[in-house]
Copies of this chain bind each other. A is one copy, B any other.
Amino acid sequence: MATRNRRYKTAIYEQFARIGKAISNPSRLELLDLLCQGPRTVEALAKEAGLGLANTSQQLKALREARLISAEKNGLFVTYQMADQRVCQFFRSLRSLAEAQLAEVREITRCFLESREALQPVDREGLLAKVRAGAVTVLDVRPSEEYRAGHLPGAISIPLKELERRLADLPRQREIVAYCRGPYCVLAVEAVQILKARGFTAFRLEDGVQDWQARGYRLAVGEESTPRPRSRRQI
């Protein structure tokens, strides 16, 4: 009787721990974070996370066995993706718990931004107000597939890699707000650094698309209509 209760509890907590184990490894967390942005192939994931191919494959297997992600084979490629939107949400809640509880997270971020001379007073709410009012040019610096999968309405897409080449596409008079995948993605930090070096007034929006969506705002999908934004209200 009591033994059966114990067996039940043990079995249940073992199941919960499967998910804990899946997210107990930094590489797996990075892969999960990348997959929150959209489906990827094994190679793309390995490259972005800086991992070996065999390693990546094994970590993905572990995530799949915890049912956090799913795989789909198209010809030669295997495309991994989130098993469910809930997993994204769970990852975000892990992230915010870590921010809240672990001073180290805040400290590491502060050091990094300082070293990149990017410790501007990023007035988040103020920026958001400007963004909503259309008073700034909103720039999405993620790879274009990600932009196509979903972006802030009115944002223009210039992937970080093309930024130096395409500076002419950006208006010089207006402030620029760059965003990427979220607070721990470095793309927007680098973009702002480049833009400032070229004389633009640029800021970084900490939120990524996922966070934006999680706050209840809509995303736009597909190609942008024109590379140069009109001055109409954007969001």
**Which residues of A come within 8 Å of B, CB atoms?**
4-6, 8-27, 29-30, 33, 50, 66-68, 83-84, 86-87, 89-90, 93-98, 100-102, 104-105, 108-109, 112, 115, 184, 186, 190
A15: B residues at CB distance < 8 A: 98, 102, 104-105, 108
15 contacts across the A-B interface (CB closer than 8 A): A4-B112, A5-B190, A8-B186, A9-B186, A10-B26, A13-B27, A15-B108, A16-B95, A16-B98, A17-B29, A19-B23, A20-B22, A20-B29, A67-B101, A86-B100
The interface residues of chain B lying within 8 Å CB-to-CB of A108 are: 8, 11-12, 15
A184 touches B12 (CB 8 A): yes
- Evaluate contact between B9 and A184: CB separation under 8 angstroms: yes
Q: When the two chains form their complex, are residues B14 and A20 in contact, meaning their CB atoms are under 8 A apart?
A: no
Task: Report the copy number of this chain in the oligomer.
Answer: 2
Contact B90 A97 (CB under 8 A): yes
Closest to A113 in B: B8
Bound complex: CA A209 to CA B115 (Å): 47
Does more than half of chain A's interface fall in helix, strand or loop, or is it mixed?
Answer: helix
| Cβ–Cβ < 8 Å partners of A19 in chain B | 23, 94, 97-98, 101-102
Beyond A4-B112, A93-B93, 5 extra complex contacts between A and B, CB < 8 Å: A14-B26, A19-B97, A20-B24, A83-B101, A86-B101
Expressed in whole angstroms, the Cα–Cα distance for A227 and B68 within the complex equals 47
A20-B24, A23-B17, A30-B13 are known contacts. Are A84 and B100 too (CB-CB below 8 A)? Answer: yes
Q: Which residues of B contact A8 (CB under 8 A)?
A: 108, 112, 186
Q: Do residues A115 and B24 form an inter-chain contact, with CB atoms below 8 A? A: no
CA distance A100 to B68 in the complex (A): 10
For A6, A9, A84, which residue has the most chain B Cβ atoms within 10 angstroms? A9
Q: Contacts A12-B109, A186-B5; is A101 near B25 (CB within 8 Å)?
A: no
Beta-carbon nearest neighbor of A5 in chain B: B186
